[in-house]
């Protein structure tokens, strides 16, 4: 049996159409293989009713320092902060009327907000800090040139600059996590190295009162979403539109 | 040809002066041999073969760094079939090589003064020694 020129072109054209159709259907229907179908945005709720900051509890701060080799520098101008205690009116300016008296008078624990629209990542000239798909505002200290634009951009003061070599100020030293060098900016990384191992952040694990609730903000079934649905919460400086992932339960 | 004696004496003198540093070093045992690299006692296999590591370990470490920090890829599937955690501090120095007896010795020998990786990614042995 011989094939005509017309018949050949018909078969070839139909094959091409079928291939294109398959591609189109494939791209619409299934997400990329290996990627989780549910999006992740890590977030945290800090419960001021459970937190014993007023009793001088420093467990979350200590756990963070130990996990990440955060130096304790006595000079407040050179201080390096990942989780730290902040005093009103720097925590919730413009929302102070909503606050219980205890929060207005005592310094409360705060950390990097891992904003949905981070100001810091926009100004970094070397892409040393960026927003990950799972919501963590990540840093590459190798790439940081120490220009401190991100520090100027962050409205929460969550970033610290290493004015001097931090090594002499390391109280407990761990080889599991790298230290930093003079001239780079650092901040809370939401324990991304622990998230990669499927663990929760060190501060959350360390809190005996379970005042820190961690989870996926995109998952309505997660612990953090449940507690946010049931309690009244504040974000720091919501008027700026940065979309903090850290909530404070009043 | 009357100057033949003079020319040969001059040549001999030149050769003697020119080769003096080499000869002296060789006779006095001053020539540095290859560095005394202390190989790990337990592990016998590196993440890649020795010639590759010798020539390209710096690029390999930079690739690890980009993978871990920027792409969240923390496991290395080595050509030898094993899976390693991509970490200078915890895999290279943590499991095999001592920084002072391995990295430093070769860098000193080859006059490499650049790498300051260990300022931050510290050898666990040194951290333990420093701890009170």
State the pLDDT at residue B30.
65
Q: Is the dihedral of CA B91, B95, B99, B103 positive or negative?
A: negative
Say if the ipTM goes beyond 0.85. Answer: no
Q: How confident is the model at residue B26 (pLDDT cuts 50, 70, 90)?
A: confident
List of chain A residues whose C-beta atoms are within 8 Å of the C-beta of residue B61: none
State the pLDDT at residue A101.
81
The three-class DSSP label of residue A11 is: helix
Say whether pLDDT at B132 is over 60.
Answer: no
Number of A/B CB contacts below 8 angstroms equals: 37
pTM above 0.80, yes or no: no
State the pLDDT at residue A42.
96
The three-class DSSP label of residue B20 is: helix
- Quick one: average pLDDT of B72-84? 89
Say if residues A161 and A146 touch (Cβ distance below 8 Å). yes
Q: Which of A1-5, B21-25, B67-71, B92-96 has the highest mean pLDDT?
A: B67-71
Per-residue confidence in pLDDT tens, chain A, 250 aa? 688 999 999 999 999 999 999 888 877 765 555 555 578 999 999 998 888 877 888 999 999 999 999 999 999 999 999 999 988 888 898 887 878 887 788 888 999 999 999 999 999 999 999 999 999 999 999 999 999 999 999 999 999 999 999 999 987 778 889 999 999 999 999 999 999 999 999 999 999 999 999 999 999 999 999 999 999 999 999 999 999 999 999 8
Say whether pLDDT at B131 is over 70.
Answer: no
State the pLDDT at residue A196.
92
Structure tokens, A103: 């929060």
Give the pLDDT confidence of B85-130 residue by residue, as tens digits.
999 988 898 888 988 889 888 898 888 887 889 889 988 877 776 6
**CA nearest A141: which of A87, A69, A209, A86?**
A69
Q: How many CB atoms lie within 10 A of CB B36?
A: 9
Structure tokens, B118: 């260990």
Nearest by CB to residue B122, choosing from A179, A192, A196, is A179
Say whether pLDDT at B32 is over 90.
Answer: no
State the pLDDT at residue A87.
86
List of chain A residues whose C-beta atoms are within 8 Å of the C-beta of residue B124: 175
List of chain B residues whose C-beta atoms are within 8 Å of the C-beta of residue A132: 72
Distance from A167 to chain B by nearest Cα, in Å?
9
What residues in chain B have their Cβ under 8 A from chain A's Cβ atoms?
Answer: 65, 69-70, 72, 74, 89-90, 94, 116, 119-124, 127-128, 130-131
For residue A89, say if its preceding peptide bond is cis, omega within 30 degrees of 0.
Answer: yes
State the pLDDT at residue B111.
87
Say if residues A234 and A247 touch (Cβ distance below 8 Å). yes
Nearest by CB to residue A175, choosing from B72, B74, B89, is B89
Distance from B101 to chain A by nearest Cα, in Å?
18
State the pLDDT at residue B69.
94
Backbone angles phi, psi at A173, to 5 degrees: -110, 135
- Rounded Cα distance between A58 and A62, Å, is 6
Distance from B96 to chain A by nearest Cα, in Å?
15
Structural domains of chain A sorted by starting position, each given as residue range(s) with its CATH number in brackets = 42-249 (3.30.70.20)
């Amino acid at each position: 049996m011989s094939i005509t020129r017309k018949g050949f072109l018909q078969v070839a054209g139909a094959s091409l159409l079928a291939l294109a159709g398959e591609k189109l259907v494939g791209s619409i229907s299934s997400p990329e293989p290996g990627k989780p179908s549910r999006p992740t945005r890590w977030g945290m709720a800090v419960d001021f009713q459970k937190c014993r900051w007023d009793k001088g509890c420093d467990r979350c701060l200590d756990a963070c320092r130990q996990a990440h080799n955060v130096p304790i520098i006595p000079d407040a101008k050179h201080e390096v902060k990942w989780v730290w205690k902040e005093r009103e009116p720097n925590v919730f300016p413009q929302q102070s009327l909503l606050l219980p008296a205890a929060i207005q008078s005592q310094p409360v624990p705060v950390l990097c907000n891992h904003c949905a629209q981070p100001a810091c990542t926009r100004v970094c000239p070397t892409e040393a800090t960026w927003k990950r798909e799972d919501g963590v505002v990540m840093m590459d200290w190798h790439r940081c040139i120490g220009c401190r634009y991100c520090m100027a951009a962050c409205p929460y003061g969550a970033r610290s600059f290493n004015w001097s070599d931090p090594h002499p100020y390391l109280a407990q030293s761990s080889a599991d996590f790298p230290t930093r060098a003079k001239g780079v900016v650092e901040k809370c990384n939401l324990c991304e190295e622990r998230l990669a191992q499927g663990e929760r952040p060190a501060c959350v694990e360390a809190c005996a009162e379970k005042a820190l609730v961690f989870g996926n903000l995109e998952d309505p079934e997660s612990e953090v979403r449940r507690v946010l649905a049931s309690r009244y919460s504040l974000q720091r400086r919501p008027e700026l539109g940065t979309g903090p992932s850290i909530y404070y339960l009043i | 040809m009357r100057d033949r004696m003079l020319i040969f004496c001059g040549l001999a003198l030149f050769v003697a002066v020119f080769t003096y540093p080499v000869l002296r070093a060789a006779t006095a045992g001053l020539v540095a041999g290859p560095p005394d690299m202390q190989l790990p006692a337990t592990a016998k296999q590196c993440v890649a073969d020795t010639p590759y590591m010798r020539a390209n370990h710096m690029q390999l470490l930079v690739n690890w760094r980009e993978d871990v920090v920027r792409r969240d890829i923390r496991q290395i599937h080595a050509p030898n079939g094993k899976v390693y955690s991509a970490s200078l501090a915890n895999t290279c120095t943590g499991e095999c090589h001592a920084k002072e007896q391995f990295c430093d010795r070769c860098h000193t020998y080859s006059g490499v003064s650049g790498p300051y990786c260990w300022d931050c990614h510290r050898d666990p042995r040194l951290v333990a020694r420093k701890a009170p």
